[in-house]
Structure 1
Amino acid sequence: MGMEIKMSFNESFQEFPIIETERLILRELQSEDAEDYFSYFSNKEVTMYWGYDCPKDVKTVASTFVRFSNAFKRKDMIVWGISEKGTDKIIGTCILGNFVRGSMANISYNLSREQWKRGFMLEAIGAIIPFGFNNLGLHRIQALVMPENNASISLLEKCNFKNEGLLRAYSFGTLFTDTLIYSLLVEELN
């Protein structure tokens, strides 16, 4: 885990950054992950607060992965597939994107329903946040969350994100809904 090495924003995009935690490997999604991704992401409970419809089929997922890869090459977004060590099966994703001048990014995430309440997302985000601040040189990481999404709010607060307020009728994927904005600044990283 020792992420003491300081890299620049651009250097971090030369090859996909693989992050290892105690129980997880965060890695680039591959075409062979499409079935696992589709399997958990087609569960309405998983996408309830996502703001987008779930993918139609495994083929759609494969083209989504190509879009993720191209976005990484353009330095627009990093989409980590979350896999449990020993299985290599994708159980969720975590995304850093919407970079603003290399100083700010949005974080979003999703996790297979079967894996909820096991601390996996806390572990994944706990590794991605220092990567964002140390390797990408970000100053601020923010998250948009629907007010009814108590699990996500609890997760963000455990990671020391601060509630900055309510964005009224904000565009959240394909919806317009009230949305909370949370943020964490580099000096608040502990």
Structure 2
Amino acid sequence: MGVQLAVIYYSTYGTNHHMATLAAEAAQAAGAQVRLLKALETAPAAVVAGQDAWKAHAEATAAVPTASAADMEWANAYLFSAPTRFGVMASQMRAFIDTLGGVWAKGGLANKAVSAMTSAQNTHGGQETTLLSLYTTMIHWGAIVVAPGFTDPCIFKTGGNPYGYSHTQGQPFTDDVKASIAHQARRLVQVAGKLA
């Protein structure tokens, strides 16, 4: 069995969608079967429609499938990408995770490789605590956390976060950024392949 990777993101304005897309492309190039999926939007439609950039992103990504428990069972590896909200993951991602009790109860999330990425409005806006909050949940699942660590020089070129790539909103997606995201995705696929 090869690597079956679910790349699951939540994105309000597009940053985490872009990160997830780059990761999915790198994982496919590394030989994984990939499903790019989004967490369900839980904000009221009127709130989304009231902010032009939020509405535009929702419309632009309407065709991206919504993540489900069935996707979690299909995958033998996961890559999550969600923005930070007050130092933890966005509530939309938390809401998705909170639907997974049934899969978790039968062991369907255990022994699978997992990694995470995030973004915030500023450099010290809670990226590391957000990643650790994601990993805390995944440790409860019995998943195998595959953080990038300092396993490639590209990590140092993009802020030096060993827990997972983190992007500062509004900053460009430079070649160094793309390399860091691709390295994390490839490392996840490599470890997941060994576990599979």
Instruction: Choose between structure 1 and 2 for higher RCO, CA contacts under 8 A separated by at least 6 residues.
Output: 2
Which has the larger helix fraction? Answer: 2
TM-score by length of 1: 0.39
TM-score by length of 2: 0.38
